[in-house]
Amino acid sequence: MKKLTAMLAMLLSVSILLCACGSKADGGDTADDSNSGEGDKILVGMVTDMAIDQAEWLQNLVAGVDEYNKSNEYNVEFKVIEATDVSEYEPKLRALAESGYSVIMGMYSAMVDPILAVAADYPDIKFGSLDGNIENIADYENVGEFGLDRLQTGFLAGCAAALMSESGLVGIAGGADDPTINAIIGGWQQGIAYINDKDGKDVQDIVAYVNSYTDPTTAKELGLTLINKGCDVIGAAAGGSGGEQLLLCRLGLLLSRGLHRRAAAAGQCAELL
């Protein structure tokens, strides 16, 4: 619940900030008054790179957004839209823009180019990127970016994996070899090292990349490869490529359903918080 509240608070803060920071032509009305005039709802859309039912954190987010929309305390309405294939990114971002949304957010590096393309055509709309790592972002007046603390989530996942492992070998599948995913993997490896030092274990890890956030079939094959190499716990940081397709078998232990199930994986992690 704390994670959900924090995510909603972050989205709300980003939305209000992006609207408030709109450029002004002459110091008077904001550039996007047509979308968010006084008394009107501020429409905020978020395009995800995975099906909502593939990620527990996203299901919780959507449930929280639905609950928030009912209370509508800040007169902001959120909408979350799935885009499970790269070819859907730009059309769905553009559809939100054409529907009068004041703030539109996408996620991760694969969605950066579509965000920038649509943002260029709609200079009066504010766009945001979650962990997109946009180069020269100051050059884009109506685009902002925000991020999550991936190091901490990866650290707890690594702790859980090391505590669970009986074979002494664990694996993690990343969506791409990029800064956001590598921050998660770095945290994962630090968590493993922490448990090794604390409990006298010698758990090793294997890192593999799916090279896609929307390819569960390749992710499944990669998961099987990790299992065949001896991994008895697998973590996923691969967007829509992770999810249920990476749950391949039990091997006598629970395989990770992705980093967002980390706390349930090992009760001992509670003492780290």
pLDDT of residue 39: 52
> Partners of 208 in the beta sheet?
173
In this structure, what are the phi and psi dihedrals at residue 232, rounded to the nearest 5 degrees? -110, 0
> 144 is written with which tokens?
């902002």
pLDDT of residue 202: 96
In the chain, % helix, strand, coil (3-state, to 5) comes to 50, 15, 35
- Full strand arrangement of the beta sheet holding 42-48: 76-82, 42-48, 103-107, 126-130, 143-146
> Partners of 204 in the beta sheet?
169
Convert the pLDDT of each residue in 174-199 to its tens digit.
888 988 889 899 999 999 999 999 99
pLDDT of residue 124: 94
Which is it for strands 76-82 and 204-209: parallel, antiparallel or unpaired? unpaired
Helices (H), the chain: 2-20, 56-71, 89-98, 112-121, 150-164, 179-199, 216-228, 262-265
Convert the pLDDT of each residue in 204-248 to its tens digit.
999 999 898 778 788 888 888 888 899 988 888 876 666 544 444
Which is it for strands 204-209 and 143-146: parallel, antiparallel or unpaired? unpaired
For the chain (273 residues), the mean pLDDT of every run of 10, in chain order, is 47 50 37 46 88 75 78 76 93 97 91 96 94 89 85 88 91 88 93 95 95 81 87 81 47 36 40 43
pLDDT of residue 78: 83
pTM: 0.59
CA distance 222 to 201: 26
Q: Which residues contact 100 (CB under 8 A, 6 or more apart)?
A: 35, 43
CB of 115 closer than 8 Å to CB of 147: no
CA distance 40 to 59: 28
